[in-house]
């Protein structure tokens, strides 16, 4: 069996969904789990809806209306009859959402966020499922919240692997004759008690790799609007070239440093089971794309450029001119860990420790306050973290040109 993942861009209109159906049709003689994201930028719209709900804004109902109109129009373009089941299911989802929005929840921001934002995936999968069924495919719709089980770390939940494995094995019968095509949602999950959680923005890739790991998939195909994994973001660097094959090791480093091609958590579950991952273009589904797999030898990659924006560089300096010793370092690391802040790039000197982190204002402010109890703290914000893997002088020169370099490591 194979796992396919279709992201927002691949399902952002009725036409796009017809294209997804054509791709699935070509694979109807194999068992598939098809993981789907919310349509287009819908998750952003749901994030807004969530803010309006929490702020009790009067824009709530118009926001909901426009989300509803968008999905209904797409469904109308795809599904022929009016009194169709699909319309009823869609209605049902909106009634359910409306009921929640009518309540006055006193739960935490993050819990409400997960409760609301996941509707984007419920809607997209309902529409796609209905269309594939109309096209005569042997599809089954599955609620990922029943299968992907997590802890209560809302907005970036940690998967409970044993429980998830049990649920998936229980509910998905991949050995059925007739090659079932399971349609399910990326990104969304739930606790064992059924409280909605999410795996983090762009987490649908990770969902695909969880299914692949547990079902021992032959491969995962992530269908995207680019020809494959590129040596840089082609929207920023038109000279980016497609990489034919890349090791898990290189791919995981790329995503860690901010390459947006894959969610960073995607690779480990595949690496563990040696399941290859392909990134292919849904615009050009005949083409092979890029394969990520276990490799003994580096295939000789070009310089890979990655830019992570909105970085804050924090320098932690001892107050009394004492060295940043092992003891100070462990205190500093513990403070970062407690604040749930990831260290992107770091460097230490005799009496200072410097680190680049993502600018998440809520987290950074709290972190800096705590650090100030023991250290002097300097902050530089609005920076970019530029990573060049397999660098050469020409690429370094290209990236440095016109920029002021504050910290550099080779
Ligand atoms: N729809 C979610 C998001 O936009 C998950 C995903 O696309 O992977 O973040
Ligand atoms: Mg997306």
SS3 for 270-314 is HHHHCCCEEEEECCCCCCCCEEEECCCCCCCCCCEEEEEEEEEEE
Residue 327 pLDDT class (50, 70, 90 cuts):
confident
Spatial separation of the C-alpha atoms in residues 125 and 22, rounded to whole Å: 16
pLDDT of residue 403: 97
Per-residue pLDDT for 304 more than 70? yes
Spatial separation of the C-alpha atoms in residues 325 and 223, rounded to whole Å: 48
Probe target for ligand 1 pocket from 12, 201, 224, 262, with the most ligand atoms within 8 Å of CB:
201
Per-residue pLDDT for 366 more than 70? yes
Residue 290 in tokens: 């890029």
Residue 143 in tokens: 């609620």
pLDDT of residue 297: 81
- Tell me the average pLDDT across 309-318: 96
- Check if 202 has its Cβ closer than 6 Å to any atom of ligand 1: yes
- Tell me the average pLDDT across 375-395: 96
Mapped onto helix, strand or coil, the DSSP state of residue 35 is strand
- Tell me the average pLDDT across 322-348: 90
* Cα–ligand 2 centroid distance for 172 (angstroms): 25
Q: Which residues contact 154 (CB under 8 A, 6 or more apart)?
A: 108, 110, 111, 113, 114, 197, 198
282 with 18: CB under 8 angstroms? no
Residue 43 pLDDT class (50, 70, 90 cuts):
very high
Atom of ligand 1 nearest to the CA of 7: 7
pLDDT of residue 81: 72
**Nearest partner of 100 among 87, 115, 86, 85, judged by Cα:** 115
Atom 2 in ligand 1: residue holding the nearest Cα: 202
159 with 148: CB under 8 angstroms? yes
Of the given ranges (109-118, 213-222, 271-280, 323-332), which has the lowest mean pLDDT?
A: 323-332
6 with 220: CB under 8 angstroms? no
How large a percentage of the chain has pLDDT more than 90?
89
Cβ count within 10 A of residue 265: 21
* Cα–ligand 2 centroid distance for 372 (angstroms): 37
* Cα–ligand 1 centroid distance for 49 (angstroms): 16
- Tell me the average pLDDT across 17-32: 96
Spatial separation of the C-alpha atoms in residues 142 and 190, rounded to whole Å: 14
Residue 163 pLDDT class (50, 70, 90 cuts):
very high
Spatial separation of the C-alpha atoms in residues 4 and 32, rounded to whole Å: 7
Atom of ligand 1 nearest to the CA of 44: 4
Per-residue pLDDT for 299 more than 90? no
Per-residue pLDDT for 178 more than 80? no
* Cα–ligand 1 centroid distance for 147 (angstroms): 18
Residue 152 pLDDT class (50, 70, 90 cuts):
very high
Atom of ligand 1 nearest to the CA of 200: 9
Probe target for ligand 1 pocket from 37, 45, 113, with the most ligand atoms within 8 Å of CB:
37
- Tell me the average pLDDT across 208-227: 97
pLDDT of residue 84: 79
Burial class (CB in 10 A: 0-12, 13-18, 19+), 337: exposed
- Check if 7 has its Cβ closer than 6 Å to any atom of ligand 1: yes
C-alpha triplet 266, 295, 10: angle, nearest 5°: 35
The backbone region for 8, taken as left when phi is positive above 0, alpha when psi lies in -120 to 50, beta otherwise, is alpha
Of the given ranges (72-76, 201-205, 320-324), which has the lowest mean pLDDT?
A: 320-324
Residue 233 pLDDT class (50, 70, 90 cuts):
very high
Atom 7 in ligand 1: residue holding the nearest Cα: 202
* Cα–ligand 2 centroid distance for 261 (angstroms): 10
Spatial separation of the C-alpha atoms in residues 291 and 340, rounded to whole Å: 33
- Check if 8 has its Cβ closer than 6 Å to any atom of ligand 1: yes
Whole-model pTM: value is 0.93
Per-residue pLDDT for 175 more than 70? no
Burial class (CB in 10 A: 0-12, 13-18, 19+), 156: middle
Residue 51's alpha-carbon distances to 59, 106, 135, in angstroms, are 10, 14, 38
pLDDT of residue 82: 67
How large a percentage of the chain has pLDDT more than 70?
99
Atom of ligand 1 nearest to the CA of 41: 4
């Amino acid at each position: 069996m194979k796992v396919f993942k279709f992201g927002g861009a691949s399902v952002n209109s009725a036409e796009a969904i017809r294209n997804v159906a054509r791709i699935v049709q070509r694979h109807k003689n194999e068992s598939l789990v098809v993981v789907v994201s919310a349509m287009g930028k819908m998750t952003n719209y749901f994030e807004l809806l969530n803010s309006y709900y929490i702020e009790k804004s009067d824009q709530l109902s118009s926001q909901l209306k426009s989300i509803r109109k968008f999905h209904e129009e797409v469904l109308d373009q795809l599904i022929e009859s009016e009194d169709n089941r699909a319309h009823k299911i869609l209605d049902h989802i909106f009634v359910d959402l409306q009921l929640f929005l009518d309540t006055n929840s006193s739960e935490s921001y993050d819990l409400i966020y997960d409760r609301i934002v996941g509707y984007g995936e419920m809607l997209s999968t309902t529409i796609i499922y209905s269309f594939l069924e109309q096209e005569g495919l042997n599809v089954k719709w599955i609620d990922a919240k029943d299968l992907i089980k997590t802890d209560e770390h809302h907005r970036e939940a940690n998967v409970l692997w044993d429980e998830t494995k049990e649920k998936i094995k229980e509910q998905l019968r991949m050995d059925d004759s007739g090659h079932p095509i399971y349609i399910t949602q990326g990104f969304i999950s739930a606790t064992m008690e059924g409280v909605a959680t999410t795996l983090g923005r762009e987490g649908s890739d990770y969902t695909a790799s969880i299914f692949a790991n547990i079902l021992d998939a032959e491969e995962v195909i992530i269908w995207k609007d680019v020809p494959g994994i590129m040596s840089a973001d082609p929207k920023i660097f038109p000279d980016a070239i497609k990489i034919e094959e890349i090791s898990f090791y290189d791919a995981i480093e790329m995503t860690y440093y901010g390459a947006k091609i894959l969610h960073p958590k995607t690779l480990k579950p595949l690496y563990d089971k040696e399941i290859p991952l392909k990134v292919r273009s849904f615009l050009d589904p005949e083409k092979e794309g890029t394969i990520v797999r276990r490799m003994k030898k580096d295939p000789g990659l070009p310089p890979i450029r990655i830019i992570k924006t909105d970085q804050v560089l924090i320098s932690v300096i001892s107050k009394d001119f004492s060295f940043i010793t092992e003891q100070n370092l462990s205190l500093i690391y513990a403070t970062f860990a407690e604040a749930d802040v990831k260290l992107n790039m770091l460097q230490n000197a005799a009496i200072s420790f410097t680190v680049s982190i993502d600018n998440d204002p809520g987290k950074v402010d709290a972190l800096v306050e705590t650090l100030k109890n023991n250290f002097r703290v300097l902050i530089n914000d609005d920076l970019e973290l530029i990573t060049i893997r397999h660098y050469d002088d020409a690429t370094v020169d290209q990236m440095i040109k016109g920029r002021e370099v504050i910290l550099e490591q080779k």
